[in-house]
Amino acid sequence: MCDRTFEHWLLLDSRFYSIILLTKIVLYVFIMKLIRFFPHKLAITALVTLLLIVGLSLKEPVRVQAQLSNASISSQLPDQWESAPLPNSGDSGLGDSGLQDSSNLPFAGCLSSYPIALVPASGMGQTLAEYPTIFWYLPRTRAWGMEFKLTDSDSQEIYSTKYAFAHGTSNDYQGQDAQLVVGTPGILSLTIPRLKGSSLPLKEDQKYDWNVRIICNPNDPSGDVYMAGTIRRVSIDPTLSRRLQQAPPEERVVLYAKERLWYEALGTLVKLQRDRPNDPAVISAWNKLLKSVGLDMILLG
């Protein structure tokens, strides 16, 4: 149904632009003849004004069509990403994915609440990318920095990095001035880099485990907090590849979700949300995607 609707819109869109082109040609010929036979400034001004009005009215359906397309993003996203039932929203503690429900947990060391890996409930997400981008939610924190590790199916480390966060003065969760990590609370990300002489890029049909360690004190690991997830790289269907190349970001989100390509669907929506933070359609799609994997605790208002 989704595919037929999209193709129908493409057909209507091509017909619409053909009508616009034909109308412009007719108007151009008509106004040239009027200018030739009636070179009165007032008449020319009136005709130009009429032409502008017609042009604006022709563009209006395109704008309305775009709004309708955007509004339908969330309705085309799945209610449940995985076939297995989602865990009870009242449960707390670490699950297989490293997800923690922070609503009933005490403050964790240097964090105002626990960080959250943005992964499905099973912890495993698929990707097309050789060098995918990992996302997680980091609450307001004074943490020193983080460490990221990626291992293959044999638990061999193939990539790791460690760095300090940028800090700025702001109010902590107790309302006191503190040196907090810039950009928190918010979504942070890390893209696996292209490195020569390593086991990268990710191989197709292989699973990889990743974990992020939030380091509160580099000299005392007792307060560190971990998140984890699993990546499986899959091959892309040539038909899907062509459609993705032609589709706008909103349509790509739907196509990725249909194929259960978690990291691409999430990454595209993260970019849309950053570019259009107040767009109701984007907010609705973001919330629908996170709800489908049980991440209700970080929905947008």
pLDDT tens figures, 167-218:
998 876 667 788 899 988 999 999 999 987 678 899 999 999 999 999 999 9
Distances (CA, A) of 181 to 51, 110, 214: 55, 11, 11
Backbone φ and ψ for 153, nearest 5 degrees, come out as -65, -15
Report the greatest alpha carbon distance in the chain: 89
Q: Please compute the mean of the pLDDT values over residues 67-72 and round it to a whole number.
A: 49
Say whether pLDDT at 105 is over 50. no
* Residues whose CB is less than 8 angstroms from the CB of residue 139 and which lie 6 or more positions away in sequence, other chains included: 102, 111, 112, 113, 114, 115, 184, 185
| pLDDT value of position 177 | 82
Q: Which residue has the tokens 């049980």?
A: 294
| pLDDT value of position 253 | 96
140-171 pLDDT, tens digit per residue, is: 899 999 999 999 999 999 999 999 999 998 87
| pLDDT value of position 53 | 45
Which contiguous run of DSSP H or E holds residue 286?
helix 280-292
Sequence-ordered strand ranges (E) for 142-299: 145-151, 157-164, 167-171, 177-181, 186-191, 206-215, 225-233
Query: Which of 88, 159, 95 lies closest to 124 in space, CA to CA?
Result: 95
Q: CA-based angle 249:255:261, to the nearest 5?
A: 100
| pLDDT value of position 173 | 64
Sequence-ordered strand ranges (E) for 124-192: 124-127, 133-138, 145-151, 157-164, 167-171, 177-181, 186-191
| pLDDT value of position 60 | 39
Taking the complete model, does pTM exceed 0.85, yes or no? no
247: DSSP letter: S
Q: Please compute the mean of the pLDDT values over residues 98-113 and round it to a whole number.
A: 53
| pLDDT value of position 198 | 76
Q: Please compute the mean of the pLDDT values over residues 32-36 and round it to a whole number.
A: 62
What percent of the chain is modeled with pLDDT above 90? Answer: 54
| pLDDT value of position 170 | 82
Least confident stretch, 33-37, 58-62, 144-148, 168-172:
58-62
Task: Give the C-alpha separation, 122 to 140, whole Å.
Answer: 26
Mean pLDDT of the chain: 78
Residue 152 corresponds to which amino acid?
D
Query: Which of 121, 132, 135, 126 lies closest to 258 in space, CA to CA?
Result: 126
